[in-house]
Amino acid sequence: MLARLEWRAGAAIIQTAFKSERLPNTTELTATLTDSVKYLRGVGPHRAAVLEEHGIATVGDLLSYLPFRYEDRIRFTPIAEIVPGQVHTILAEVTGGGGSTVRFRRGRGALFHLSVRDKTGTVYVRFFHGGYLQGKLKDGQRLVLHGKVEADPYRPARVEMVNPQMEIVSDGEGQPADSTEMGRIVPVYEAMGGISSRMLRRIVYGVLLHFDGNMPDPLPPEIRERFRFPTRREALAYAHFPPKDENLEMLNSFRSPAQVRLIFEEFFYYQLALTLRRQRENHRAGIAMRVREERVREALKRILPFKPTEAQKRVLKEIADDLEKPYPMHRLLEGDVGSGKTIVALEAATIAIENRCQVALMAPTEILAAQHYLSAKRIFAPAGYFVELITGGRTKAERELAALRVQAGQAQFVVGTHALIEGSVKFEKLGLVIVDEQHRFGVLQRKRLIEKGASPHVLVMTATPIPRTLALTLYGDLDISVIDELPPGRTPIETRWAADTQLAGVWEFLRRQIARGRQAYVVYPVIEESKQELKAATAEYERLAKSVFPKLRAGLLHGRLKNDEKEAVMEQFRSGELHVLVATTVIEVGVDVPNATVMVIEHADRFGLAQLHQLRGRIGRGSEQSHCILIAPRTITGEARERIETMVATSNGFEIAERDLKQRGPGEFFGTRQHGDAAFSFAQPLRDREILEMARREAFALAENAEKAREVASRLEMVNPSWQRRYQLASVG
Ligand code: ADP
Ligand code: MG
């Protein structure tokens, strides 16, 4: 690692990279870190608004938006030298090729054809859903195309690219491409809302060219020197426009010294913020609860219909110990689907309630909240405790009444969806906050709930099995408990892959299982039929109920039903009244009906790996043999095939998580992206694990000297205030 961090005279390289270049027609205005992007060359009010939507308001933000890939545009592959099956970057010209250049086909999504050539040969290019390209290309235009090139299966002499990444680099009228896009290693940015990678490249280039050079470096000099990191300014210039002789492979694996430094920096400040907050938290007064062993044990015996597993006992002990401490607990409870987290949460709640505190449990879906509400009521009502449900689906009057009971302290256990965080919900004494499936919530949502109490204890739960070391680093301010054992008597789920053509047999299998007293889920990717030509839950429900299972009782569950309808259907399924539940992914999280042992997932190739695993986690919850049947064409290839094969091969959540991380990258995996509060813009915890460890060690070492640590942390503001906000929020509960 250290050897790879060697920084070879970085400054010199950057200077030569920029010295002789000037964009045509640029005025000599200088750009400063804090300048608004609005005034940059190439950015008008419209683009400025788009940039701002993506969190890019200033020059500093813009420079922190780094390329996700680099293309070698010094050495293109001549078409004659293409090796089918490999990824190539080619430079070629749009050509008539003896016929029309552009064919446009209506119907099943527009298909856009094109042929391009260089001096050595011709490549055929197809764009599915390429309707937007109509009229955009002209003969003679030069294109850079990047992607996998394949031999045409029917005409092996002919090579083609399907949906490559494409950039027009000249307009075909002799106008040469400018130096940002040719004859160098070219950065490729993720386009945003109509601002293409090419436009971003030009904007960034312009900024770098006119940058006033004033870029403070927040990293402590001793760290920078020890790792021989380039300065921040050098690193950014280099990461946007690497010099010609840089190793492309190293750049694309994010291991050039400049990139390593920028990754390190993100992790370092993140870890530093976590440690400092941790130090503060440990000084904050919390509610020290009394855990009376016998009372708890007795209460547990009353509420538990089974013996807790060793793992559940251990984890509860860890939680109980935290609750006794005079500062607030911050604990992550990790356990694979079906490992029995709910019971542990309810046990923790028991302790809090016995200590005259209120408990809030937040779940990501109405269905799950309703389910928790029912189990909690079953457990707490006999003890004389009142359980309240707060979801967006209840009537206004109901909600107001509920809010009153919560505020007056009449309700001890309050279950709900994100409706819980609304301003109208106030607690009398909130002592414990539990967040189920925490990765489904944004940081701010969790924070808002926590702020409804005065330093309450916090327990967040997740079924996303993050490798423990990674979790420790990512959630540096949380303690972690792991349930690493399933309740006894579970029979492993048998998972099979079947083709559409085998469905008749699948339905017959379902009938036989149901005849034995079992229940089944049938899952579809969409609610209603659409252009995508996917089978939809609503239509298939009608069809299945009428012509496939006329003698069985089937129900339909999806996100667009009204809440009382959802609850009614779920209750019918839970009570065994329904044999078959046709559903969308609304059942993905948390739903618990142990007698349901069969799950059929249609279009299984359309689901992500984590999602398939979660869905499958709905079965295999009892002692009966469970079966999961994934319906997908036998012909699928690539990642879709890998996903199905992984599902068939293993039901180990940790294994699946590892593979999923590899396929998708952790942004999506941790569920942070959609909330716009991702902790890192450039660093990726899984890809960059070694750098993360390194940064963590350094941050911890620095934090031993609290004063110095705070001083270093405060320097972040001068680099990027929006980062500072982000780190303040990082990983809250
Ligand atoms: P998850 O961890 O996915 O939230 P749940 O809490 O929903 O899992 O528990 C899954 C199922 O296992 C539930 O039906 C629950 O009642 C049952 N269960 C939990 N703990 C035990 C145990 N110790 N012995 C037997 N069954 C258990
Ligand atoms: Mg659960």
pLDDT, one tens digit per residue, over 685-708 is 777 888 988 998 899 899 888 888
Question: Per-residue pLDDT for 524 more than 80?
Answer: yes
Question: Per-residue pLDDT for 23 more than 60?
Answer: no
Instruction: Show the CA angle centred on residue 157, arms to residues 155 and 163, nearest 5°.
Output: 75
Tokens found for residue 681 = 């813009």
What was the pLDDT predicted at 5?
Answer: 35
Residue 345: helix, strand or coil by DSSP? Answer: helix
Under a CB-based contact definition with an 8 Å cutoff, are residues 188 and 202 in contact? no
**443/477 Cα distance (integer angstroms):** 14
Question: Per-residue pLDDT for 672 more than 70?
Answer: no
Backbone angles phi, psi at 584, to 5 degrees: -95, -165
Model pLDDT for residues 333-375, shown as the tens digit of each residue = 988 888 899 999 999 999 999 999 999 999 988 888 988 998 8
Q: What share of the chain is helix, strand, coil (3-state, %, to 5)?
A: 40, 15, 40
Region of poorest pLDDT, from 94-103, 216-225, 358-367, 656-665: 94-103
What average pLDDT does range 159-186 have in this prediction?
74
**15/11 Cα distance (integer angstroms):** 6
What average pLDDT does range 30-39 have in this prediction?
85
Q: Which of 572, 594, 649 is nearest to 306 (CA)?
A: 594
Q: Which of 56-65, 458-467, 584-593, 723-732 has the highest mean pLDDT?
A: 56-65
Give percent above pLDDT 70 in the chain. Answer: 84
pLDDT tier at 494, thresholds 50, 70, 90: very high
What average pLDDT does range 714-719 have in this prediction?
72
**510/497 Cα distance (integer angstroms):** 15
**437/465 Cα distance (integer angstroms):** 11
Ligand minimally distant from the alpha carbon of residue 306: 1
Question: Per-residue pLDDT for 675 more than 60?
Answer: no
Residue nearest to atom 19 of ligand 1 (CA): 340
Ligand minimally distant from the alpha carbon of residue 303: 1
Residue nearest to atom 24 of ligand 1 (CA): 487
What average pLDDT does range 378-407 have in this prediction?
90
Distance of CA 589 from the midpoint of ligand 2 (Å): 7
What was the pLDDT predicted at 371?
Answer: 86
What was the pLDDT predicted at 727?
Answer: 57
Under a CB-based contact definition with an 8 Å cutoff, are residues 365 and 418 in contact? no
What was the pLDDT predicted at 3?
Answer: 33
Distance of CA 563 from the midpoint of ligand 1 (Å): 25
Domains present along the chain, CATH in parentheses:
2-62+198-252 (no CATH), 75-182 (2.40.50.140), 294-483 (3.40.50.300), 494-650 (3.40.50.300)
What was the pLDDT predicted at 438?
Answer: 80
Residue nearest to atom 21 of ligand 1 (CA): 487
Question: Per-residue pLDDT for 446 more than 80?
Answer: yes
Q: Using most ligand atoms within 8 A of CB, pick from 434, 591, 592, 624 the residue to mutate for ligand 1.
A: 592
Question: Per-residue pLDDT for 98 more than 60?
Answer: no
What was the pLDDT predicted at 633?
Answer: 92
Q: Using most ligand atoms within 8 A of CB, pick from 300, 301, 303, 306 the residue to mutate for ligand 1.
A: 306
pLDDT tier at 110, thresholds 50, 70, 90: low
Region of poorest pLDDT, from 46-55, 207-216, 318-327: 207-216
Q: Which of 146-150, 503-507, 566-570 has the highest mean pLDDT?
A: 503-507
Under a CB-based contact definition with an 8 Å cutoff, are residues 523 and 600 in contact? yes
pLDDT: which is higher, 542 or 245: 542
Which positions ≥6 away from 234 have C-beta within 8 Å? 10, 11, 14, 258
**450/444 Cα distance (integer angstroms):** 10
What was the pLDDT predicted at 677?
Answer: 42
- Alpha carbon distances (Å) from 509 to 183, 580, 628: 62, 13, 11
Distance of CA 627 from the midpoint of ligand 1 (Å): 19
Distance of CA 141 from the midpoint of ligand 1 (Å): 62
Distance of CA 595 from the midpoint of ligand 1 (Å): 13
pLDDT tier at 646, thresholds 50, 70, 90: very high
Average pLDDT for the chain: 83
Cβ neighbour number for residue 398 with a 10 Å cutoff: 13
- Helices 310-324 and 341-354, axial angle in degrees (round to 10): 30
Q: Which of 125, 126, 129 is nearest to 106 (CA)?
A: 129
Ligand 1 atom with minimal separation from the 335 CA: 2
pLDDT: which is higher, 599 or 565: 599
What was the pLDDT predicted at 732?
Answer: 42
Distance of CA 621 from the midpoint of ligand 1 (Å): 7
What was the pLDDT predicted at 301?
Answer: 72
**437/588 Cα distance (integer angstroms):** 11
What was the pLDDT predicted at 542?
Answer: 94
Distance of CA 289 from the midpoint of ligand 1 (Å): 26
Q: Which of 476, 543, 67, 107 is nearest to 271 (CA)?
A: 476
pLDDT tier at 467, thresholds 50, 70, 90: low
What was the pLDDT predicted at 134?
Answer: 75
pLDDT tier at 507, thresholds 50, 70, 90: very high
Residue nearest to atom 12 of ligand 1 (CA): 340
Give percent above pLDDT 90 in the chain. Answer: 39
Ligand 1 atom with minimal separation from the 337 CA: 3
Question: Per-residue pLDDT for 674 more than 80?
Answer: no
Ligand minimally distant from the alpha carbon of residue 334: 1
Ligand 1 atom with minimal separation from the 312 CA: 23
What was the pLDDT predicted at 590?
Answer: 64
What was the pLDDT predicted at 728?
Answer: 54
Cβ neighbour number for residue 696 with a 10 Å cutoff: 21
Distance of CA 665 from the midpoint of ligand 2 (Å): 24
Cβ neighbour number for residue 192 with a 10 Å cutoff: 17
What was the pLDDT predicted at 614?
Answer: 86
Secondary structure (DSSP) of 568-637: HHHHHHHTTS-SEEEE-GGGSSS---TTEEEEEETTGGGS-HHHHHHHHTTS--SSS--EEEEE--TT--
**347/308 Cα distance (integer angstroms):** 11
For the whole prediction, is pTM greater than 0.95?
A: no
Tokens found for residue 112 = 């856009």
Q: Using most ligand atoms within 8 A of CB, pick from 312, 332, 333, 343 the residue to mutate for ligand 1.
A: 343
- The terminus-to-terminus CA distance of the chain in angstroms comes to 32
Residue nearest to atom 5 of ligand 1 (CA): 340
Q: Please count the residues of the chain.
A: 733
Cβ neighbour number for residue 53 with a 10 Å cutoff: 12
Distance of CA 333 from the midpoint of ligand 1 (Å): 14
Distance of CA 372 from the midpoint of ligand 2 (Å): 9
The set of protein residues with a Cβ atom below 6 angstroms from ligand 1 is: 306-309, 312, 335, 337-343, 463, 487, 590, 592, 594, 621
What was the pLDDT predicted at 580?
Answer: 96
**684/628 Cα distance (integer angstroms):** 33
Question: Per-residue pLDDT for 379 more than 70?
Answer: yes
Residue nearest to atom 23 of ligand 1 (CA): 308
pLDDT: which is higher, 274 or 218: 218
Which protein residues have a CB closer than 5 Å to ligand 2 (ion)? Answer: 590
**424/727 Cα distance (integer angstroms):** 28
Question: Per-residue pLDDT for 71 more than 60?
Answer: yes
Under a CB-based contact definition with an 8 Å cutoff, are residues 331 and 475 in contact? no
- Strands 111-118 and 103-105 turn out to be antiparallel
Under a CB-based contact definition with an 8 Å cutoff, are residues 453 and 426 in contact? no
Backbone angles phi, psi at 200, to 5 degrees: -60, -40
